[in-house]
Structure 1
Amino acid sequence: MLARSLETIRQRDGTRVSVAVLEPRDGRRALYGSQVHITASLVKVDILAALLLRAQHERRTLTQWEASTAASMIQSSDNDSANALWRRIGGGQGLADANRTLGLTATQAGPDPQWGLTRTTAADQLALLSAVFDDHSPLNPASRDLIQTFMGRIDADQDWGVSAAGSRWQLKNGWLLRPHSQLWAINSMGRVKAHGSTFYLVILSHGSRSMSHGIWAVEQAAQSAVHVLRSTPPPVSPIIR
């Protein structure tokens, strides 16, 4: 059912999507697509997780500058802030080190300093969401609370993507026009509440002819993923494609 609806998106718009969705209460999950995608600004959550892991290792909280820079990076998706924190974590090597701790096995950091060209899969980003929101995580409660707070205060003009699947959300989006093809990579991930349940949801996409078309495709995929998972009895965990 999900595969059919996502194929319809590709036929209509040319956008190719990968989806990962989890209902953490009972463990139901679905995965569609194993291809690698460019993260664009989606990696900013990963950068912040790496910064927090480093601070935990040093047995300290974030400095005032780190916290305010992280807030700008997540809430406003500010690239200068991401540049500064990318350097702070040690660039691509620092991200790779953190990802080993976080359990991300298929994510490759972008070439320094191009953090937006980090490559990942929907399954890996679902693992990152689990680290951000689950109690059993390398991130301590204070670190998780900080990321969750920032993801719940996204600037109003960036309230799109997985938020289309629920009434309450915490999210981060990413978008990038690929210069060689003039096509867009549009991504969204987060925690949404819908139909009395909570879902962790990742939508990665590439090949959209405009940003608006890509957002439409991501939101259609998000709504379809939640609908399909609600119709799947636990503990079935389908690998849809």
Structure 2
Amino acid sequence: MDHDRMPGVRIGALSVPDGVRVSVAVRDVGSAIAATYGEGSFDTASIVKVDILAALLVQAEDAGRGLTPQERAAADAMIRLSDNAAATELWRVIGGADGLTAAHARLGLVATDPAPSGAWGLTRTTAGDRLTLLEAVFGAGPALNAPSRTYIQDLMARSAAGQDWGVSAAGPSYALKNGWLPRTATGLWVVNSTGRVTTEDGRTCLVAVLSDGNADLAAGVSLVEAAARASVGAVSAAGRTS
């Protein structure tokens, strides 16, 4: 999905260290105003776990079945606790990269590619594609039925303590999935956060913030949260005056 570029959405007040990249996509659900900041492709780290669950649900819908108790337990651990073993288990169930790619096509993602190595956390994506996925999960698109959307939303709204940072900085009510990954070759961190946020004044926004080149996890979290606050504030302000 194409999202409008809005000059009003800036991260000018944000201090971005040299060598660090950040990209944001945000949409005010009430006004439908959307914007992007920054460009490029990023490693997903654990935010791809939402993709894996969406793929599992698409496949289950196609087969006319519900999830098994084992699949539900793995999905809970994967989304709420960011459990990697659970993600690997469900990655195999969906058919790995081929299954994920097929689900992405159904969900409308056009710039997300699983790693050739099959390592799900090294899937490459863009902030725009993350927003498209959030719209599939929190909207009313045809790829996921209402019970599937509600199921993902519920898990994302109950992230474990200590994993509820990120886009949640933009509002008191949220449902999210974060991802963080130190790169062995450089020692620098990928830190990402995606989700739905409701602001203090009741506006609901879908937000995706991707970053890499961070010195450590704490620096990445700080950057992601500042970007979420700035972008949600700007889009919400534009919505109030449109």
TM-score of the pair, normalised by structure 1: 0.93
The answer as to whether partners of 1:83 and 1:113 remain within 8 angstroms in 2 is no
Task: Name which of 234, 238, 241 aligns with 1:232.
Answer: 238
Q: Runs of 5+ in structure 1 lacking a partner?
A: 237-241
Q: Which moved more, 1:227-236 or 1:181-190?
A: 227-236
Q: Is the 8 A contact 1:162 1:188 kept in 2?
A: yes
How far is the alpha carbon of 1:33 from its aligned partner? Answer: 1.8
CA distance in 1, matches of 2:74, 2:222: 30
Match of 1:190 in 2: 195
Shift of 1:25: 1.9
Deviation of 1:96 after TM superposition, in Å, equals 0.2
Structure 2 partner of 1:3:
10
The answer to which of 70-79 and 26-35 deviates more is 26-35
Aligned to 1:83: 88
The alpha-carbon distance between structure 1 residues 63 and 206, as it changes in their structure 2 partners (threshold 3 A), is same
Q: Counterpart of 2:47?
A: 42
Give the structure 2 partner of residue 141 of structure 1: 146
In structure 2, C-alpha distance between the alignment counterparts of 1:81 and 1:32, rounded to whole Å: 33
Partner residue in 2 for 1:239? none
Q: How well do the aligned residues superpose, as a CA RMSD in angstroms?
A: 1.6
Measured after TM superposition, the shift of residue 234 of structure 1 is 7.7
Q: Distance in 2 between matches of 1:46 and 1:9?
A: 30
Does the CA contact (< 8 Å) of 1:27 and 1:234 recur in 2? no
- What is the rounded CA distance, in whole Å, between the counterparts of 2:128 and 2:241 in structure 1? 18
Measured against aligned partners, the alpha-carbon deviations of 1:165-191 in whole angstroms (never above 9, x if no partner) come to 000000000000011111000000000
The residue number in structure 2 matching 1:199 is 205
Corresponding position: 1:159 with 2:168: no
Superposition map of 1:12-23 within 5 A: 14-23=19-28
Q: Cα distance, 1:16 vs. partner?
A: 1.5
The question of 1:209 aligning with 2:209 is answered no
> For residues 56-106 of structure 1, what are the alpha-carbon distances to aligned partners after superposition, in whole Å with 9 as ceiling and x for unaligned?
000111111111110100000000000000000000010000000000000
| Identity fraction in percent | 47
Provide the rounded CA distance (Å) in 2 between the counterparts of 1:4 and 1:148: 28
Residues 180-208 of structure 1 deviation map (CA, whole Å, 9 limit, x = unaligned): 11100000000000021100000000010
Aligned mates of 2:100, 2:153 — CA distance in 1: 19
Contact preservation (8 Å) 1:15, 1:214:
no
Q: CA deviation at 1:111?
A: 2.9
Give the aligned length: 234
Task: Give ranges in structure 2 of 5+ residues lacking alignment.
Answer: 1-7
Q: Structure 1 residue 35: deviation in Å?
A: 0.3
| Shift, 1:14, TM fit | 4.6
Say if 1:28 and 1:234, in contact at 8 Å, map to a contact too: no
Q: What residue is the counterpart of 2:175 in the other structure?
A: 170
Rounded to whole Å, the distance in 2 between the matches of 1:111 and 1:123 is: 22
TM-score by length of 2: 0.93
The residue aligned with 2:66 is 61
